[in-house]
Structure 1
């Protein structure tokens, strides 16, 4: 049966088997040990609540779905069978359903194909849904446990007392309760009286007589002293049974309830402890009944409300806290627990947590509310919000806040032009190197203070990072901006550095850009000022320069700014052209693999193609790399996302350091996946070690979220950095791309072969896919095949070509129109 090819000539037979397997709750899996791919049948996917298109043919798929407690056992079962130590794979394990619950399956499989040497090549198996069976087993265990407990609880003694004969008859269990050795059932009339605890004797005998006089059942508890002297609590049920020819009998049961009494005493003590605890804690606790009346409040609650506990007990919750909070409290008892913030209770801010009180039958009987004073926490949050927009060292606005102010100013730049001053300190590195970073930090603080005191009203002053600052002058022209620039230069020069023993004063170079176009981007606007700053430094430092299109100077910064501006326009005009290069299997290097790395090319208005080396660095310098990466992802997924599954197409995207450092990157990707209908498993991301180390925590979070969603994450240029192997341990990646510098001379260099062999061995041990880059000839392919590398990329295998052309050539006829 072909579990993945709906157009197979055996469709009818396949459908019949699939229906049978589906009805039987059987999901088929087919694992190709040569390629590492594992195919899953449609019934297998439906068993877990998915469609077949939701999953890639990935051998690691089940590892992501399997319960952590079952993973090692399942892997061990497969390893034993593949190594020939068992006849087949047979394991019970749990898989995560799409809605989050666990599905129990019986996993059975066996090797169905071997090579001439007997090495396993293919394993096929089925997984049977045994969730109901497991539930039945659990229910059976519960029934058996209840039956066992019932028998233990029924271990009570039976006795009767013959009134005429004044003779008692005790069964073996009764004798055991009193600590008597096995013996005759008839005992003397004084036997029972003799074991009564002196403090309980009078009451117990009196209550027993009630059964004789009232002919009613009497239940009583009392203490006895056993034969060995141990004091025990017992419970007796007694009833008078009359007889015509005698005075009748007193019959009953007896059981040892010492443990119950101890538990009740412990419960009473526990309640007392809870009461003391609730009265001692600082959090306010209030409980209400089903009608919303307060049934309990601790001293903290009374203090919070400035009322006594007596006043609060019985008061309607709505009257005490107001209708709005009462309504929320009422809803919380019906739905789920939730938080709300309450202000105005005496003083401060309180966080309210509501939980329902349910009876043993599950019916609502009230609720409990706890109020935690979060006044200090709220204060800290305000402080954190301030810190998020301000530089910790200087107290000025940070880059994020300045960008927001800049974007706001650009909106009305057509009507109200403004100026940007980009400030770069001169000789600051020398100060750090000579006097130390502590002195440098102090100098930065003094500069921030000195410049701030000399700025016009309304100016926005920010530290962008390091020794770079920026000033936004609202409603300003070039003359006013230059005047402010002169003031800033003088303020920086006036900073007293005598505390550092540095004689050379600090200076600064300032770039000025007048923004009067609302269509300009914030990055382009800042780039203009940065470009002018480069010009000022080139002209001799400690001066300012103004950006203009017809400036006589050209610097690397200006050229880059122009390139970035062109890049921005190209994205708006869709002149960024997507190219693709295939990543092919080393075993079948000239066959279609379905895996494509996307490459970007910039097309001039005259049609000339500009290579990435001419515009990517400029994009990275001026903060456009993330925008470009997002444009590429949106464009590719928007055009091909809906057909990727049907076309067996996987697209790989390179992520720059700026993109990887963006904490909003994953929400953007998630949104693009949902909007375009792209299968997440058909998306691959390539990151470099340099990009990862730039902001490790943010990058790590992105990689983990992408992996949980099913995306492939590849570590690019592997081996080029000193910490490459360390990142295998720190990042949950799925594949590595061996840097081309180790591949291009592979056939001639023993060193390169050793490096590639070592990388391959470690990657295989970790279950990672391996891709070799920069393959230029067939000899290299053969060498990589011998080493064990599974995939390759390079001009010998496939030269980059327009992505549209590449996809069009590979699409089935039925899909070409939609593409």
Structure 2
């Protein structure tokens, strides 16, 4: 008993000793319980510390790590085991170390009890990470001075701060360049307010102006047009003019976009000469401009448009870098603003008038003034809406008409596009193709047809061959040609199963361009057919230049060969010349057995028409 507690010597009898021992046992039990509670609390705290998103650390007074939780490895890439015992400065990014030793000394000397700051720590992969340090002076378990705290990874925040600072600096530099004198004379508070105001004004300017020409943009013109329309009346009209440079794409393709941009800036200077200060000249995009003439009737607007046209038609614009002068022309659409139309309708009519001027041959002016004009162009706008909806809502369909090889069977099918109207009426191509060509929508339609034909061929197990028609406007679209080459190569479909058709009149308009198109398509392995042959009948002279496989004799010559000997003679001549040139013939509009037999007898290779089959969806 002496060894347990010397005070037991003072006990007078056994009863007191037993009582004392019992109390001692109680104390020991309580201590054991407390130790268990402490152990559980310690485990909880360790679990909490180990699962924090921050590094919890402790260093001795010399700055060597004595504790690090596992987050240390997540942030720096160094394990806790390899880091314990090493000086924390070994992990501080070299450029940030200078300030840290002095900070440690200040805390150990109790000049500084706690601190919070940001710096970089090295990462094991050779980089660094940004951390926020929160540290305080403390005593460790042995009552020795130590420093403990947390390291929070703020790399993402710093990255955002750096990015924001970079943008802020760029903006400040931009503003400083233009307002340097103001910065020198104003107080700091006024400077900050001025910076913000100028920044907001710059953003607003950029939203409403074109960066190349510094002209108002489409948004600005639309807002101005809205106000002008609200103020206009039949007695006090204004006018809207749309201007488009004809064939400007050729300038960009030939001389480059940089010279093309310079040319646009020069044109703007020319246009401004004929406008009053109250008028609005805007760049709508690319080579298209809009002009809002305030307080102008249709005569005044037409005169302004004519002056624009003559400026280019009679003058020359030079590209300095190439020392080449160009004769450019413009197409112009004019519409009267009399308060009876909404802003969007005015824009649509001006656009329609512009395209009408282009369709009529370019280098001319088209005016919408009367109710009849509006009614005529409204129909075109309605069809434009249907075409766009058709592309968006998958309302286009392909029907296929067989091309029959005499004496053998079906050689291939021609894909013919249809548009399913909202009332489920099926519109033939002559209802929408001319409008699509006028309003620049053919490229989208042609792409849809090509993709649809490729998809059909990918999904069929037979060796069916499909021919598709290309619009006349497609020959000027090199991006479409590249698209066709790419999609055929990528599709896995044998190129000889695909054929293309263009009309004779399309080929004649630009023989060189047509020849390039046909050659590149044929280089893929595809076939090519010249459609509607013989309409102009000046065709024999260029047939040898076009590397087509088939000549399609126009139906106007074929449909009466059973009753008209002259028509039969023409068809025989076309067939003979075509064969002499090493090409095959397809006769269109074969309506009955008698015509089919005649064609077969005179040696025409193939026939197409209702006798062999009407256009219909392709059966599986």
Q: TM-score range by the shorter chain?
A: 0.3 to 0.5
TM-score if structure 2 supplies the norm length? 0.48
| Higher fraction of helix | 2
Structure with greater proportional strand content: 1
Structure showing greater radius of gyration is 2
Where relative contact order (Cα < 8 A, 6+ residues apart) is larger, the structure is: 2
